Amino acid sequence: MEVIVATVIATFAVIGLAYTFGMGRGFIDRFEVGRAALAEAQGRMEMIASRPASDTLCRIYPVGQYHMSYFRVDGRTLGTELWTVIWKDDPADNPNDPNQHDLREATVTVRFQHGEIPDSVRLTRLLPPI
Amino acid sequence: MTQWSGASGERGVTLTELTIIGVLATIVMVALTGFYMNSQRMWMDTSTKAMAQRDATLIVETLRQRVHEADDYVVDTDDAIHNSLTLSYKYNPTLVFDWDSSDSLIHIIQTGTDLGALGQTHVLRFELAPDGPNLIDLTLLEQRTATGDTVRIQSQFQLLGG
């Protein structure tokens, strides 16, 4: 009887250990896509910052509408990339300022999925109005 | 070890029992050894991959910082998969990010002096593309870990020093 109990416990221990190794590997792979997504979001943000407000890639859309592209690394599609630019009122100049277009606020979201778990990275940055 | 007293008072184990025990022990040992070897391999793969990811981020963030400070750049694409980036600054010496074939790493070179390599993971591809006067595309940075896995990353950098 003791042998059977010991065997069952040992089996569970070994399976549990194997599961933790597999989980660790999965997390590292997921983290890899997360790092690539962050680099992509930073790159997109720099692209937006380098172009004038009139550029089609960073045109100001109504709330709820986004620019969209695929999140690709070396030709492989890993997710989607959404970005939006909106006007931002700077309260420092005058709270009752009729001109609400003091700054632009760019938000880039990269969505990806690793396994069955959806994940995303979001960056927001204030830009000059021009 | 099992011991018993039979009708004749004999003690010990039979050869059959000993054989069965040996076979079972061998099976268990083979399984445990296989599990250990697999676990060790997975551990090594995962660790080297995590290090490669860290190195990739280090390269991207170093490039980003240096490009931000620069006011002009030149991308050399003579070698199609190992490009070179030269950054010019208003008040500082020129910096070159170049792939070195002797160690397969990206080195920073300042006015002819090698300041050292970025990271320790071999770089397979370092591809850049100019995107206008103040934007550089890192179209692909691909690294290979010691265990053969690859890590890929890409980004864009804006020149802000002009």
Least confident window among A37-41, A56-60, B93-97, B122-126? A56-60
Residues B18, B20, B23: CA angle, nearest 5 degrees = 110
The residue written with tokens 């070994």 in the block is: A14
Which of these, A23, A3, A20, lies nearest to B28 by C-alpha position?
A3
pLDDT in tens, B16-26: 999 999 999 99
Which residue of chain A has the CA closest to B45? Answer: A25
Instruction: DSSP letter for A84, please.
Output: E
| Pairwise CB contact (< 8 Å): B131 & A14 | no
Nearest to B140 among A18, A43, A74 (CB): A74
**What's chain B's average pLDDT?**
91
| pLDDT of B1 higher than 70 | no
pLDDT (tens place) for every residue of chain A, 130 residues total: 888 899 899 889 988 988 888 888 889 989 999 999 999 999 999 999 998 888 888 888 888 889 999 999 888 899 999 999 998 888 887 777 777 788 999 999 999 988 788 999 999 999 988 7
Interchain CB contacts (distance < 8 Å): A and B: 74
Helix axes A2-50, B15-69, angle to 10 degrees: 10
| pLDDT of B2 higher than 60 | no
* Whole-number Å distance between alpha carbons of A42 and B92: 26
Residues of B in contact with A23 (CB under 8 A): none
Q: In chain B, what percentage of residues exceed pLDDT 70?
A: 94
Give pTM, 2 decimals.
0.84
pLDDT at A92: 82
pLDDT in tens, B144-154: 998 899 999 99
pLDDT at A58: 86
Which of these, B132, B133, B41, B58, lies nearest to B97 by C-alpha position?
B58
Which spans in B3-111 are helix H?
A: 15-69
> With bands split at pLDDT 50, 70 and 90, how would you rate the model's confidence at B3?
low
| Pairwise CB contact (< 8 Å): A35 & B57 | yes
* Size (chain B), residues: 162
Q: Report yes or no: A47 and A81 within 8 Å, Cβ to Cβ.
A: no
Does A32 lie at the interface with B, CB-CB under 8 angstroms?
yes
More confident position, A96 or B32: B32
Q: Which residues pair with A59 in a beta bridge?
A: none
Does A81 lie at the interface with B, CB-CB under 8 angstroms?
no
**Residue B63: which region, alpha, beta or left (left: phi > 0; alpha: psi -120 to 50)?**
alpha
* Whole-number Å distance between alpha carbons of A47 and A80: 17
Does B144 lie at the interface with A, CB-CB under 8 angstroms?
no
Which of these, B127, B17, B46, B78, lies nearest to A21 by C-alpha position?
B46
Does A49 lie at the interface with B, CB-CB under 8 angstroms?
yes
Residues of A in contact with B42 (CB under 8 A): 21-22, 24-25
ipTM above 0.85, yes or no: no
Does B142 lie at the interface with A, CB-CB under 8 angstroms?
yes
Q: Report yes or no: B102 and B117 within 8 Å, Cβ to Cβ.
A: no
Does A47 lie at the interface with B, CB-CB under 8 angstroms?
yes
